[in-house]
Structure 1
Amino acid sequence: MDYAIIIIPILLALFISVLIPSLNKGTRTRDALFIDEKALHTQGLFWLALLTPIFLGTTLAAHASYEYDFKLGPEEYDFFIKNNKLSLIIIGAMIPATAVVSSIHRTIQAAAQITESEKKILPTLTILISDSILITSNL
Structure 2
Amino acid sequence: MNLTINHCIVLFNILFVVVYMSYLFKIKAFKMNAESLTHQPLFKAALTIPIISFFLLGFVAWNGHDFQIDTEGFNNFLNISKLPLAVLSLSIPLGVVVNNIHRTIQTDKQIKEAEKKNKVDFFYAHRKNTIEALQHLESLDIPLIKKNTKLEFENCYSTYRKCYPYASTTNSNFDASKDYIQNAELIWRQLVELFKKE
TM-score range, shorter chain: 0.7 to 0.9
Give distance in 2, aligned partners of 1:132 and 1:114: 26
Q: Hey, what does 1:67 align to over in structure 2?
A: 64
TM-score by length of 2: 0.56
Percent identical residues: 28
How far apart are 1:9 and its partner, in Å?
A: 3.7
How far apart are 1:38 and its partner, in Å?
A: 1.0
TM-score by length of 1: 0.76
Alignment deviations for residues 34-82 of structure 1 (CA, whole Å, 9 cap, x no partner): 2111111111111111111111122111110011111211111111100
Bigger Rg, which one: 2
- For 1:7-26, what aligned pairs fall within 5 Å after superposition? 7-11=14-18, 13-14=20-21, 18=24
- Does 1:48 find its partner at 2:45? yes
> What residue identity is the alignment partner of 2:43?
F
Q: Hey, what does 2:114 align to over in structure 1?
A: 117
More helix by percentage:
1
More strand by percentage:
2
Q: Hey, what does 1:84 align to over in structure 2?
A: 81
Structure number with greater CO (CA < 8 Å, separation at least 6) is 1
How far apart are 1:132 and its partner, in Å?
A: 5.0
Q: How many residues align?
A: 129
Q: Hey, what does 1:93 align to over in structure 2?
A: 90
Q: Hey, what does 1:23 align to over in structure 2?
A: none
Q: Hey, what does 2:27 align to over in structure 1?
A: 30
How far apart are 1:12 and its partner, in Å?
A: 6.3
Uncovered stretches (5+) of structure 1, i.e. residues with no partner: 19-28
How far apart are 1:11 and its partner, in Å?
A: 4.5
How far apart are 1:14 and its partner, in Å?
A: 4.4
Distance 1:55 1:12, change over 3 A: farther
Runs of 4+ residues deviating >3 angstroms: 11-15, 129-135
Cα pair 1:50 1:94 within 8 Å, conserved: yes
